[in-house]
Amino acid sequence: MYNFDKIDVKIVNLLLDDGRMPASEVARRIGDISERAVRYRIDRMVDDGVIRVSAVAKPQAFGLTTIADVWLEVESDRIIEVARKMAEFDNVSYVACGIGESDVSIQIVAKDTAEIYQFVTEVVRKVPGVRKTTTSIVPLIIKDVYQWRIPERITQAIAEQESSIAKE
């Protein structure tokens, strides 16, 4: 596990606000850290796979204004195979394997509900191993995965750990 400190958390949160923010601006906003140290920390977190700085395309900007979550019930020995197959489709923006009522969950982006219906009935349901699908149109997303923030409880735990180390 990566060993975070308060500065790392501040860097990550600033990059979540603006992934193109220069290291010099990150250093200025945090204070008491050099641009070089910020660059080093960002590079280390990227190299260790803790963060990824990249562009996030909004499907709506490309006319894909309809989103659906689809849960798949899959034959038990084909779950990973089906999940990997779902990941190959351009209009599938998310794929995960689950434990519970559904074995695989996907999110589809499309221009309209007719396109969602066609894709689910003519493509997804015909993938070998898929037994059943349940589809839900998503009219509004309040928080997306790229908006996730490091929880305050983790930030507090890091601060407490640093404080106890400093006292020793």
CATH of the domain at 28: 1.10.10.10
| Cβ atoms of 132 and 103 closer than 8 Å | no
pLDDT (tens digit per residue) in 53-79: 988 889 999 999 999 999 999 999 999
Q: What is the pLDDT of residues 108-167, one digit of tens each?
A: 999 999 999 999 999 999 999 999 999 999 999 999 887 788 888 888 888 888 878 777
Is the four-CA dihedral 74, 79, 85, 86 of positive or negative sign?
Answer: positive
Does one domain contain both 49 and 77?
A: no
Q: Which residue segment(s) compose the domain that 22 sits in?
A: 1-55
Are residues 24 and 71 part of one domain?
no
Q: Is residue 162, in this structure, part of any structural domain at all?
A: no
Q: Are residues 68 and 36 in the same domain?
A: no
CATH assignment of the domain containing 133: 3.30.70.920
66-74/92-97 β-pairing: unpaired
Q: Out of 14, 37, 55, pick the residue that ends a domain.
A: 55
Report yes or no on 163 lying in a domain.
Answer: no
Residue 47 sits in the same domain as residue 78: no
Does 147 map to a domain?
no
Q: With contact defined as beta carbons under 8 Å apart, do 80 and 97 qualify?
A: yes
Question: Are the C-beta atoms of 130 and 74 separated by less than 8 Å?
Answer: yes
Q: Is residue 148 part of a domain?
A: no
pTM: 0.80
